[in-house]
Chain A
């Protein structure tokens, strides 16, 4: 699913990492490393938002492309600006067509499946009970479940998670990590999970990559 060959990322003179790595379909790869070691940069490379300094990278056999439907992205928890006029289901919907120009007119789109898709992924992460609650009234754990649903909305084959457990309590860390893992088990989705919190994901991980040391174990 992912292949990095002699992949080097550097800022000026400083080399962040040098990687040779293959990640199989359905693999759960946990990425750790100290702050500034280039964990998030690795995800940006895989998202097509950053170029390698040298070497090659492919995702699903091709160079990464911005906004690809086969890649889902779960960000770290950030609070929403108070009174943002969006509900949980709207956040998921943005994951489907939020990148398209124009107005979000209801039922004007030929892709009429979008609404059902939103319902389905919300149900799948157990968020249907708060689907209509404004985003700024959701708890941190609830918001992260909805963000997982958003990442799953395009039915991705690769899920990139950028510290999604940060600032969640232990209970919700476990729930969010298990949601990601369940998706992997049921659909063979590849997972790259960047985290500082190893405990909730270690039982789920196939391999752990320490980018700082660039060691795969």
Chain B
């Protein structure tokens, strides 16, 4: 093994110019993955993210085989998966098994399309494990447009979606269209997964959409701090991963997953300290059952 294959900063400046598109893409993906990830944690959808990414991979592989747009293929695959999971697995209890059925089917289809494909091998491998040099300007525009759509949708549905994720019954009683929001979020998540697949690859999407948010909720429970921190952690992971992988012959994904996992570890440690320092302790208080005098209302 040669360490120069893993980290090598010779001609770094020149190489950096080549991956400028990827760095922009990475920064935007971090934002998308980190924000969408917050709801993935709240709605317990990590497995769904993985399922969607496998079908997104199948869609991208089919597009590669038939000479269509790989970005379009990955989005189509992801939306089909998100719709199927949304419809067949609307109840949380069914969802796991529906995803468990869809996932190997998607992966199988993807492998089939790839083995029929006779083009460059790097294209094949890239769909599974990520690629950074492949992001040309038209593809970057696709990616930015899709990401913008995801961010706008998330911004619009943020508050009612938080409410519906926490307490669907109360949210419905308060007039939140819970039945509409749940599939709507699945589709938005599908888009987020599809854009991530194109950079970090189908197998490693969770490092972008789940890990940063899972790390953020370890150190804070503030509904403002958590999404911002999650987006920051995801961006650091992707952009950092790209910067490190530029000088090496190894795909981008191990760098991204390693950074993101390390950050998760750090957040867990910080969270454990925070808990011990009294996250759970209450302010000094009157006894729990004290019924207070009339007043405040």
Which A residues are closer than 8 A to B by beta carbons? 47, 49, 66-68, 71, 73, 75, 78, 80-81, 83-87, 90-91, 94-95, 97-104, 106, 120-121, 123-124, 126, 128-130, 133-135, 137, 141-142, 147, 150, 152, 155, 160, 162, 171, 174-175, 178-179, 182-183, 186-187
Contact = CB atoms under 8 A, between A and B. Distances in A.
A49 B157 CA distance: 21
A98 B279 contact: no
Contacts of B160: 98-101
A198 to B, nearest CB: 21
A139 to B, nearest CB: 9
Nearest to A125: B292
Contact of B221 (A85, A95, A129): A85
A183 B297 contact: yes
Contact of B174 (A86, A98, A129, A183): A98
A134 B295 CA distance: 27
Contacts of A124: 292, 295-297
A81 B162 CA distance: 12
Given A83-B214, A134-B221, A104 B292 contact: no
Interface of B: 38, 41-44, 155-160, 162-163, 165-167, 169-176, 214, 216-218, 220-227, 279-280, 282-286, 288-292, 294-297
A86 B38 CA distance: 11
B294 to A, nearest CB: 5
Contacts of A106: 224
Given A120-B297, A124-B297, A103 B169 contact: no
Given A94-B162, A95-B174, A99-B175, 5 more contacts: A81-B42, A95-B170, A124-B292, A124-B296, A155-B297
A99 B171 contact: yes
Contact of B38 (A85, A95, A175): A85
A73 B170 contact: yes
B166 A80 contact: yes
Contact of A129 (B38, B279, B283): B283
Nearest to A123: B296
A99 B285 CA distance: 32
B292 A126 contact: yes
A95 B170 CA distance: 9
A84 B172 contact: no
A141 B288 CA distance: 10
Given A83-B218, A85-B221, A171-B289, A120 B159 contact: no
Contact of B173 (A47, A126, A134): A47
Contact of B282 (A121, A133, A187): A133
Nearest to A83: B217
Contacts of A183: 297
Given A101-B156, A101-B157, A187-B297, A87 B162 contact: no
7 contacts: A73-B170, A99-B160, A101-B160, A103-B155, A123-B295, A129-B286, A134-B221
A68 B222 CA distance: 28
Contact of A84 (B42, B174, B280): B42
Contacts of A99: 159-160, 163, 171, 174-176
B283 to A, nearest CB: 5
B166 A130 contact: no
A85 B42 contact: yes
Given A83-B218, A123-B292, A147-B170, A98 B285 contact: no
A83 B41 contact: yes
A73 B163 CA distance: 14
Contact of A86 (B166, B284, B289, B294): B166
Contacts of B42: 81, 84-85
Contact of B223 (A71, A90, A102, A121): A90
B44 A81 contact: yes
Contacts of B286: 126, 129
B159 A98 contact: yes
Contacts of B43: 81
B176 A104 contact: no
B149 to A, nearest CB: 16
A85 B158 contact: no
